[in-house]
Amino acid sequence: MAEGFRLRVCFRKAGRLRYLSHLETGRAWERAARRAGLPYAVTQGYNPRMKVAFGPALPVGTAGMREYLDITLTRFVPVAQVQEGLRASIVEELAPVECGYVSPTEPSLASRLTIAEYEVELERGVPPQELERSLDALMRTGGLETEHKGKQKFFDLAVVLPKEPEVMSDAGRAAVRVWVRMGPHGSLRPETFMSAAIGPGRPVAVTRTELFIEDEQGWIRPL
Amino acid sequence: MNDVWERVEPLLRQVERPARYVDREWGVVRRPDAGYHVALMYPDTYEVGMANQALQVLAARLSTLDDVACERVFIPWVDMSAAMRAHEVPLFTLESCTPVAEMDMLGITLPNELTYTNVLEALDLAGIPLRAHDRGETHPLVVGGGPCSHNPEPMAAFFDAILVGDGEEALLEIVASHRASMAAGLSREESVRALAGIDGVYVPSLYLVGDDGVVRPVDDAPARVTRRVLADLDTYVSPTCPVVPYADVVHDRATVEVLRGCSRGCRFCQAGMVYRPVRERPADSIVRDAIASLRCTGYEELSLTSLSTADHSQLEEVLRRLANRLEGTGTAISVPSLRIDSFTVPLARLLGDGRKAGLTFAPEAGSQRLRDAINKNITEEEILTAVDQAFTAGWRRVKLYFMIGLPTETDEDVTAIAALVERVFATARAATPPGERGGLRVAVSASTFVPKAHTPFQWDGQLPIEEVRRRQVLLRQAMPRKGVELSFHDAGSSLLEAVLAKGGREAAAGVEAAWRAGAVFDAWSEHFSLARWIEALASAGIDAAAYAAEARDRHGALPWDHIDSGLSSAFLRAERERTDRAETTADCTFGECTGCGVCPGLGVDVVVAGGERRG
């Protein structure tokens, strides 16, 4: 079924609301769409629901600067008008960044968005050179064994890290930019990766800064 | 005001569901520069407390005062409270993340007896002395209210004042009085004493318990505290822009209160006694507030709430108008607390247009004799007709509530529950097309009778727990197995409820001892320990089993005699006597006055919006 107008919204999950779960964030956006008076389509059947789909889940505690959702509208509303309506209907911490229409036949966000860019902020006082050394050492091992909720997992770093992590040493911060490839093999949590590199307890904040679609031409933004 | 967020945030990484503690929801009103700060607390988790409509009503009323900030407080879950204690983070309000101890007033609703230890937990986490007489000049006034205010004694020592009855106007008067006292430089003691001058406000420190068990004022405080009643519910709009939670709360939907009070007169039901008279809101106001609320909140579900929504004289009109307005929006309308005898074919059809949530009915007793004795005023034929209509209209699940241990109950009454359920199931099955019978479910929930203050059963004892358990087994054995899910409310927590519901001022020591022994979240079965409570109550000189089971002299003193709910004790006694003869009493909104005493005593009247009720 490819009827209606597929509106794509890029939004933030920031500040205190980084502590929302994926489900909670989704519910917040559905209600914002109702408050904004968008002409959303509803599913057929016993429990009619808003036709809305979200990108890959962001863990509780992780902020996002450019997260995505697709919502099906029954009629076209100019982008500027949608954006204005949404901005007035949701709190600043979840504010829309930009909106646009995409083809109604486009595959789902969850299947298309496979590259995530993170910024991991570390405790102050980790010297950049030491960071570089630790990251290099870990990358050279080629693999990473993790344990999450009692489950063992092995990540092949050449597959899950499509790009070498970058140490950012601007303005006295200690932060690392990490690109992770998400897929059927599961997704490596950037804080897990950083802990493996420099020891546990060091990351203080994790932000997903971008999400990309990976195709023949390279990495492209979903909007 | 000290914002403690910097100290709260590091704890959020180690606790479950941090969304409970972060604020920043849609609809939050923030007034950092207000001259007076009130914290309103529901003594349970965020998920339970955010569903409380009374707090939404009171917050909306307080928001009309420009210079007053109203902030929310809930009980941190055990992982969070442990983290807070380990890092010396005090209990904080959500809106400004200010320590509760820095507020001017802490308002606490008392929804049921199983939240009592949570109140002490909150005071302790806040660093406020538990007992009112230990508090100093800088501590906030601790003011209680809500259903349990009708027998305030077990919690009286922990409160500076307790409001009995409707809070729409009284809370604003309490705030005004306290502000005037502060402006006049009055001491804490003088400020608290001034509150006793407000109708409906009980100041426990001004009363002593005599050797005869009667609570009497020590000086010029009123001999009896008369319940506050809002005469016309339509004086104020229903709160249309409440805070919309992110977390999955208990009743996550827009709500409009359609009426207050219920005079069906079920003899076990405290709410049906102490919220009289019936006051309906007009259809126009209900529809207006419902649409405004859905628009402001973005909720996908609307609930029309009250003690007995289907009794509203204009409910069909309301549902029809809402259905027209909400067509195509995927908005569901739910009507909780449906009385069986007001579930009609047109109602079934109107509710069926939205989403069909499960349907819940409360026959309470299995036999006609016992239903008459408790004044349920419904017949088996009415029950089966309602089930037939519901399943014909497309419902596939029904939940039935019963009670075990009602006064005069016999084994025959218990097994009659099973027989009734069997006929309900057969009726439901017959009304369901053969192809859909697989999804057919009848859920049966049986709770234990708890005698409550200001009801005709206030003198009765509770069945001993061993006998309750024997009757539970009897019911389980008699209950049909196929398609029926039977669950029991824990008899141990009902025993505690009975002790605290019947208790006098002496019970306070037991509540405190239980909390000191680790009791908290007693309404959560994984945290409730009957053994701990029995020991704590014993340390306060209370034999829990004997206390709950004791029947009281119908002409003797009761621990709540100084609370005037408006009901005459002669009426309650007469109703109790009719129980023994299995005689029913009609609802006054459908017929003649039954002489309960509320309207003349409190100077109010029944308000029926449509002029007439059909029943």
What residues form DSSP beta bridges with B217? B207
Best CA proximity match to B571, nearest among B322, B168, B274, B164: B274
Q: How many CB atoms lie within 10 A of CB B367?
A: 20
What residues form DSSP beta bridges with B225? B563
pLDDT at position A109 over 70:
yes
End-to-end CA, chain B: 55
Best CA proximity match to B150, nearest among B449, B452, B451, B374: B452
State mean pLDDT over B509-517.
Answer: 98
Q: Which of B15, B26, B47, B355 to mutate to test the interface with A (most CBs of A within 10 A)?
A: B26
In a domain, B109, yes or no: yes
B144 Cα to chain A: minimum distance (Å): 31
State mean pLDDT over B181-194.
Answer: 98
Closest residue to A42, CB basis, from B12, B294, B330:
B330
What CATH code is assigned to A5-106?
3.30.70.580
State the pLDDT confidence band at A168, using cuts at 50, 70 and 90.
confident
pLDDT at position A123 over 60:
yes
> If you count DSSP H runs as helices and E runs as strands, how many of each does chain A have, helices first?
6, 11
**Domains in chain A: boundaries:** 5-106, 113-220
State mean pLDDT over B68-88.
Answer: 98
Mean pLDDT across chain B, nearest whole number?
A: 95
Is CATH 3.90.1580 the classification given to domain A113-220?
no
In a domain, B268, yes or no: no
Whichever domain contains B83, its CATH number is 3.40.50
In angstroms, the Cα distances linking B309 to B1, B58, B279, B316, B492 are 43, 21, 12, 11, 31
Closest residue to A93, CB basis, from B12, B24, B355:
B24
Asked if A35 and B296 come within 8 Å (Cβ–Cβ), the reply is yes
pLDDT at position B358 over 80:
no
Asked if B300 and A50 come within 8 Å (Cβ–Cβ), the reply is yes
B299 Cα to chain A: minimum distance (Å): 6
Closest residue to B244, CB basis, from A20, A31, A46:
A31
Which comes out higher in pLDDT, residue B1 or A136? A136
**What's the pLDDT at B338?**
76
* Nearest residue on chain A to B357, alpha-carbon basis: A47
A17 Cα to chain B: minimum distance (Å): 7
Distance of alpha carbon B301 from alpha carbon A71, whole angstroms? 19
DSSP string, B213-281: S-EEESSSS-SSEEPB--S-GGGSPPPSS--B-SS--TT-SEEEE-EE---S--TT-HHHHHT-S-EEP
In a domain, B128, yes or no: yes
* Nearest residue on chain A to B253, alpha-carbon basis: A31
Distance of alpha carbon B603 from alpha carbon B394, whole angstroms? 45
What's the pLDDT tens digit per position in A34-59? Answer: 999 999 999 887 677 899 999 999 99
Residues in chain B closer than 8 A to A89 (CB atoms) = 298
Asked if A19 and B18 come within 8 Å (Cβ–Cβ), the reply is yes
State the pLDDT confidence band at A200, using cuts at 50, 70 and 90.
low
Contact B96, B71 (CB under 8 A): yes
In a domain, B45, yes or no: yes
pLDDT at position B337 over 70:
no
Here the tokens at position B342 are 């007001």
State the pLDDT confidence band at B481, using cuts at 50, 70 and 90.
confident
Here the tokens at position B457 are 């059963």
**What's the pLDDT at B356?**
60
Asked if A31 and B298 come within 8 Å (Cβ–Cβ), the reply is yes
In a domain, B216, yes or no: yes
pLDDT at position B354 over 70:
no
A137 Cα to chain B: minimum distance (Å): 28
Which comes out higher in pLDDT, residue B552 or B395? B552
b/e map B21-55, b = 16+ CB within 10 Å: bbbbbbbeeebeebebbbbbbbbbbbbbbbbbbbb
Residues in chain A closer than 8 A to B13 (CB atoms) = 61
Asked if A24 and B19 come within 8 Å (Cβ–Cβ), the reply is yes
Q: Give the total number of structural domains in chain B.
A: 1
In a domain, B200, yes or no: yes
Closest residue to B26, CB basis, from A42, A49, A91:
A91
Which positions in chain B have a beta carbon within 8 angstroms of at least one beta carbon in chain A? 5, 9, 12-13, 17-19, 21-26, 244, 246-248, 294-300, 328-330, 355-356
State the pLDDT confidence band at B312, using cuts at 50, 70 and 90.
very high
Asked if A34 and B246 come within 8 Å (Cβ–Cβ), the reply is no
Here the tokens at position B52 are 């409380």
DSSP string, B322-359: HHHHHTTTT-EEE--S--GGG--HHHHHHHHTS----E
Q: Which of B25, B293, B300 to mutate to test the interface with A (most CBs of A within 10 A)?
A: B300
B45 Cα to chain A: minimum distance (Å): 17
pLDDT at position A169 over 80:
no
Residues in chain A closer than 8 A to B329 (CB atoms) = 34, 42
Q: What residues contact A217, with CB distance under 8 A and at least 6 apart? A: none
State mean pLDDT over A97-103.
Answer: 96
**Helix B53-62 vs helix B170-183: crossing angle, to nearest 10:** 50
Q: What value of ipTM does the predicted structure carry?
A: 0.92
Phi and psi at residue B394, to the nearest 5°: 115, -5
Residues in chain B closer than 8 A to A28 (CB atoms) = 26, 246
In a domain, B332, yes or no: no
What's the pLDDT tens digit per position in B128-157? Answer: 999 999 999 999 999 999 999 999 999 999
Q: Kindly state the DSSP code that residue B147 receives in the 8-state scheme.
A: G
Closest residue to B19, CB basis, from A20, A31, A48:
A20
Residues in chain B: 615
Distance of alpha carbon A137 from alpha carbon B432, whole angstroms? 68
pLDDT at position B516 over 90:
yes
HEC per residue, B545-590: HHHHHCCCCCCCCCCCCCEECCCCHHHHHHHHHHHHCCCCCCCCCC
Here the tokens at position A151 are 């489950």
Q: What residues contact B483, with CB distance under 8 A and at least 6 apart? A: B425, B429, B440, B441, B442
Contact B227, B602 (CB under 8 A): yes
Report CA dihedral (B367, B369, B375, B381) to the nearest 10 degrees.
50
Hey, what amino acid is at B391? Answer: F
Range of the domain at B26: 5-226
Q: What is the share, in percent, of chain B residues with pLDDT greater than 90?
A: 87
What residues form DSSP beta bridges with A220? A213
Residues in chain B closer than 8 A to A93 (CB atoms) = 24
State the pLDDT confidence band at B615, using cuts at 50, 70 and 90.
low
Contact B509, B535 (CB under 8 A): no
Asked if B26 and A32 come within 8 Å (Cβ–Cβ), the reply is yes
Residues in chain A closer than 8 A to B297 (CB atoms) = 31, 35
State the pLDDT confidence band at B439, using cuts at 50, 70 and 90.
confident
Which positions in chain A have a beta carbon within 8 angstroms of at least one beta carbon in chain B? 15-17, 19-21, 23-25, 27-28, 30-35, 37, 42, 46-50, 60-61, 89-91, 93
Asked if A17 and B295 come within 8 Å (Cβ–Cβ), the reply is no
pLDDT at position B295 over 90:
yes
State the pLDDT confidence band at A176, using cuts at 50, 70 and 90.
very high
In angstroms, the Cα distances linking B408 to B374, B452, B473, B586 are 9, 16, 19, 20
In a domain, B280, yes or no: no
Asked if A48 and B22 come within 8 Å (Cβ–Cβ), the reply is no
Closest residue to B23, CB basis, from A16, A23, A34:
A16
**What's the pLDDT at A125?**
73
Q: Which single residue is written with the structure tokens 């019970």?
A: B507
Asked if B300 and A34 come within 8 Å (Cβ–Cβ), the reply is yes
**What's the pLDDT at B357?**
63
Q: How many CB atoms lie within 10 A of CB B586?
A: 15
